[in-house]
Amino acid sequence: MAAGLQAVRESAPALKRQTMPRAKRAAIVGIPAFLVLAFTGSMSLGLIMAALILAALYIPAWSALPAGKWVVLAGILLLAILYPIYQPNLFDVLVFGNFPSADTGVTMLVFIMMALGLNIVVGYAGLLDLGYVAFYAMGAYTVAWFASQHFSGVTVHVGGVGVAPSTPGFHISIWLVVIIAGVFATVAGVLIGFPTLRLRGDYLAIVTLGFGEIMPQIAVNGDNLFGRNITNGSQGINPIDPPGFGDRLHNAVGLPTDFLSSPNSTRLFYWTALFLVVVTAFCSARLRDSRLGRAWIAIREDETAAAAMGVPLMRTKTWAYAGGAFFGGVAGAYYGSFKGGTFPSDFYFNISVFILCMVILGGMGNIWGVIVGAAFLSYLNQEGLANIGAWMNANGVSDFVFRKQIDVPLYTSGIFGVILVLTMLFKPEGLIPSERRKQEFREGVHDQPLYDVTHE
């Protein structure tokens, strides 16, 4: 085993050498970035940002230095942490308009988290999950049950903030609920995975799709499930308690009592989400390099060979499913608390595909790729498309091309469809692929079933 590991480590630099030349990479990213910045108003801030972006994009060069990787990581993290503070002073980008607000930032971070979770299933283990939204729903409903007035028959307060102590219903601290939600989603993941993970490829995709379709229907019909109101039907459950630290910690250390009533509520939500993303990214990275992670990758590359080498298929796949589900559940719970409500319309199939889109566009299996893909697409969905549409309408592009003013958000699903198709056709490994994944897509994998299907 140790010798095998050694071989894998030694082959890593060999893989690295095959990447694009650094100068070419810098030119490809740097020149458009400079052009975009050159067209914008405030040059001074623009130049600083340009320098920072270029520095961030130069990760391969930096990481050659000892500890350089950590410097870059710290720099990016610092930029992310300070974002809500310097965001209002940022310049407008051509076409895209202003930078996303911190509020949009929270949504983006939640989607980054979900995409990282799905990346474990799709990117690492290579199991196409088309019903990932089921875990998100699981998390969102968990927070709705344990931190709202929904179950008004009981009054349980365990560190809940933002409500009077006499308010009926479960009011458990969001920090706890987020973990409970993760555990619930994990259990759901194992339960769903157990019967279905025996299936390969397309069949698995279809079964997960089936679960993903059943979930919102249960949520919609759940207001009368065996005579009980579990999900409050299509009206959803709201309000949900905000996260917070309670009076005692507020008085002792100065931590905010509850996020919602705090004067800089959005920033608090943003920083918490960022913290969750960092934890998720860290866990993904560590999982990927663990024994389990290597087993996932082995299964992805060749299931039959992996099984022959003694990788327990079912157990390994179930762990991938459970891991992905955990982060989906946590993200769902936090998002529910941020939005203050949980509604069944949030859990339709297109959200599953939307998250899948992020993973694919960014680059399956690569954490940075997934983060960039998720941030970009959720930004487009939240603000970007509307901004682009407004710009096109205001500057006569719409009139010139379409002969009328257009409503770009109307085309959201089509645009995502185009992104999926174009990515698959021209860059199937995604924008920032992991080296290994890229080679799989270029050279093809031999993951044909041992016995093939015969059609007669």
Partner 1 sequence: MATEQARIRVGRPGYRPDVLTIIGLLLVILFGFWLLVNFIKAPADFYNLFLIGLTNGCIYGLVAIGYSLVYGILELINFAHGDVFMLGGMLVATMVTGWSLQNDSGVVLWLFIILMLLITMAFCATINTTIEIVAYRRLRNAPRLAPLITAIGMSFILQNIGLVWKGARPTSVPDILPNGTVFTIGGVPYTWNKFIVLLFTIPVLLALMWLVQRTRHGKAMRATAQDREAAAMMGISVNRTISFTFFLAGCMAGAAALLYALYFTNIRYTEGFRVGLIAFTAAVLGGIGNLPGAVLGGLVIGFVQAFNEGLGWHAPGSDWTQSIVFSILILILVFRPEGLLGERTPEGA
Which residues of the chain form contacts with partner 1 (CB under 8 A)? Answer: 126, 128, 130, 195-196, 198-203, 205-207, 209-211, 213-214, 217-218, 220-221, 349-350, 353, 356, 360, 410-421, 424-425, 428, 440-441, 444-445, 447-456
The least CB distance from residue 298 to partner 1, in Å, is 16
In degrees, rounded to 5, the angle at the alpha carbon of residue 110 between the alpha carbons of residues 108 and 115 is 90
Q: Between 25 and 436, whose beta carbon lies closer to partner 1? A: 436
Closest distance to partner 1 from the beta carbon of 280 (Å):
23
Cβ burial, residue 262 (10 Å; 0-12/13-18/19+): middle
What's the min distance (Å) between Cβ of 233 and partner 1?
A: 10
- Residues forming beta bridges with residue 237, ordered by sequence position: 342
For strand 155-158 and strand 169-172, is the pairing parallel, antiparallel, or unpaired? parallel
| Residue 382 DSSP symbol | I
Nearer to partner 1, 250 or 427 (CB): 427
Q: Which is nearer to partner 1, 261 or 350 (CB)?
A: 350
DSSP 262-280: STTHHHHHHHHHHHHHHHH
Residues 6+ apart with CB under 8 A from 153: 168
Query: Least distance (Å) from partner 1 to the CB of residue 448?
Result: 7
Q: CB of residue 387 vs partner 1: minimum separation in angstroms?
A: 19
CB closer to partner 1 out of 368 and 411:
411
User: CB of residue 456 vs partner 1: minimum separation in angstroms?
Assistant: 7
Minimum CB distance to partner 1 smaller for 201 or for 312: 201
Do residues 445 and 364 lie in contact, with contact meaning Cβ atoms separated by under 8 Å?
A: no
CA 109 to chain CA centroid, Å, is 7
Q: State in angstroms the smallest separation of the CB of 164 from partner 1.
A: 36
Please, how many CA atoms are within 13 Å of residue 189, restricted to the half-sphere of its CB? 31
**For partner 1, which is the closer residue by CB, 253 or 425?**
425
Calpha distance 171→159 (Å, rounded): 7
Residue partners of 346: CB distance under 8 A and separation at least 6: 136, 137, 140
Nearer to partner 1, 130 or 372 (CB): 130
